Every structure is written in structure tokens, then in C-alpha cells.
Amino acid sequence: MEFTHSPFWVQIWGFPFEHMSEDTGKDIGSRLGRYVETDTRSWHFDQAKFMRVRVELMVDKPLRRGGYITSPKGARLWVTFKYERLPIICFYCGRIGHDARHCAVPIDAQSQEPQYGDWLRANDTYKGNNERSKP
């Protein structure tokens, strides 16, 4: 059996509250991996700061740090992705399953500033962690 994908809850930070919707979550989630669901409860809290989507990610590909999206008004916005319950990750190549000491990236490339960091980990204090959203 080959382990190629794993489901993750991904928090999308920087998206305007007034444009958060299930369709938007599906659109962004499908660009990250195989879309599973949107947690609509994540923006029903007072002063919602992020949207949550559950996606199946390819474990042999680097994680996405963020990306540009276009708002319904046409503005180009940068959103940041944070991953809930993120296991060990390499801060040099962005892949899950090993750290920098065990990375295949050449050592001279690792002497540069890493493109990834612990900031990819979502704060685990979110009340909705590990709960399936209700339709």
C-alpha cells in the first residue's frame, strides 16, 4: 500500500470576512489538493479571522505557504495557509515526514534562509479542531 495523500484542515488567513462562503472554501481548497469540505462554523464566531477547509494533500509535495486570490470586487489579495495538526516538516523543502537534518536538499542550499517555518502550524486552541462540520 502506498501512502500518497493525507487529509488536513487548512486555515486560510487574510481573506475578507464578508466574502467567506462554502463555494469560496471549495474553490481555494480544490487548488490546494482534493477538496473534502468547508467548516462553515469557523467564520460564525465573533470576529472570525480565518476560513477552514479540509483537503487531501499529496504528502510528497511541498506545502503551499499561501497564494494570491481575486476578491469578488477584483482586488488581488494574498492569503496565508496554516495547517492544523501538522506533523514533522522540513523547513527547507516544505515536505512532510522529515526535518532539515534528513532532507535531500543539498547542504549548501540549506545555508540560505529557509522558506518555511513553524508559522505553518495552526494554533491548536481553535474549538473546531478535529470535528466534522455539520451541513
Report the candidate in 114, 49, 41, 55 with the shortest Cα–Cα distance to residue 84. Answer: 55
Partners of residue 92 on adjacent β-strands:
none
65 Cα distance to chain centroid: 7
Q: Read off the pLDDT of residues 21-74 as tens digits, 9 standing for 90 and up.
A: 899 899 999 999 999 999 988 777 656 789 999 999 999 999 999 999 887 788
Domain ranges, ordered by start, for the chain: 5-120
49 versus 9: the higher-pLDDT residue is 9
Query: Contact, 65 vs 81, CB < 8 A?
Result: yes
- pLDDT band (50, 70, 90) for residue 130: very low
Q: Read off the pLDDT of residues 88-104 as tens digits, 9 standing for 90 and up.
A: 999 989 999 998 889 88
